Structure 1
Amino acid sequence: MTREPPRARAHYRAWRTIPTRWADNDVYGHVNNVVYYGWFDTAVNAELVARGVLDIAGGRTIGLVVETGCRYFAPLAFPQVVEAGVRVAHIGTSSVRYEVGIFAEGSDAAAAEGHFVHVYVDRETRRPVPLPLDWREALGALA
């Protein structure tokens, strides 16, 4: 079976450093696959908060995940530090596709690559809403 190799670091626009925790390792001695999804969520949402568009506690617009995926290339384990690269692959009317690369600190080769799609909705009604202009500008900088 042949598969596409991981993308280079240059593919990603913003970076977050995330330390692994002892509890991240599974019985096989490496970070469990479910932890990667937490890293994806952390990297993207931290970037949106840092750019001033996501107000977790009181913002009217929130993102709901409607699709996820991950490809694994190399194991990671506690006590490694990982670097999560984020980019926006697509901006729709009310949806965004994020791509996240997970790298061992200082490595040029991704240990994993993931994506997820957020549909942005009104916090109260949970109905899709068009992305506001400030969101579009912040997201465009990550494309």
Structure 2
Amino acid sequence: MSGDYPYWETVPTRWNDNDVYGHVNNVVHYMLMDTVINQWMIRTAGFDPLRADAIAMCVESHCVYKAEVSFPDTIRMGLRVGKLGNSSVRWEIGMFREDGTLVAEGHFVHVFVGRESRRPRDIADPIRSEMRKLVIA
């Protein structure tokens, strides 16, 4: 349900997002989910992916497709945190057409690791503080 997501981004589809079957290809869904997550981390939580001591690595991703979407549709992307651990976060994303139709639901699990060591690191504040605002009980 669209009210279950505390953060929203709107993204237009592009001409080249459609595949030979006339709808947005599945790889685009993953790209959009990853983009919305990283935009939120950079813009809202102040994460600097180029300079941070700890970086977020995707260890799991999943998407369930519910309806087709095609260029020139606009997609509303809802973002929430399903689980917040010490070094990991499960992002949950809902993708909706402008008419409210659920297009897809997905999730990404990020583990924060040291840039050099690639060993798990606790999620630093203020990133963790901002993530808490997206947690849905």
TM-score by length of 1: 0.90
CA shift for structure 1 position 41? 0.3
**Paired position in structure 2 for 1:19:** 12
Q: Alpha-carbon deviations, 1:57-80, whole Å to 9, x = none?
A: 211121111111111111001111
**Paired position in structure 2 for 1:115:** 107
**Paired position in structure 2 for 1:134:** 126
Structure 1 portions without partners, runs of 5+? 1-7
Q: Does residue 45 of structure 1 match 2:38?
A: yes
**Paired position in structure 2 for 1:60:** 53
**RMSD over aligned Cα atoms:** 1.0
8 A contact 1:80–1:104 mirrored in 2: yes
Q: In the aligned structure 1, how far is the partner of 2:9 from the partner of 2:36?
A: 6
**Paired position in structure 1 for 2:73:** 80
CA shift for structure 1 position 125? 1.4
Q: 1:89 aligns with which of 68, 82, 85?
A: 82
Following superposition, which runs of at least 4 residues in structure 1 exceed 6 angstroms of deviation?
A: none
Letter in 1 for 2:125: L
Query: Between Structure 1 and Structure 2, how many residues are aligned?
Result: 135
Which is worse superposed, 127-136 or 32-41? 127-136
**Paired position in structure 2 for 1:3:** none
TM-score by length of 2: 0.94
Percent identity, aligned pairs only, is: 44
8 A contact 1:53–1:138 mirrored in 2: no
Q: In the aligned structure 1, how far is the partner of 2:54 from the partner of 2:9?
A: 23
Structure 2 portions without partners, runs of 5+? none
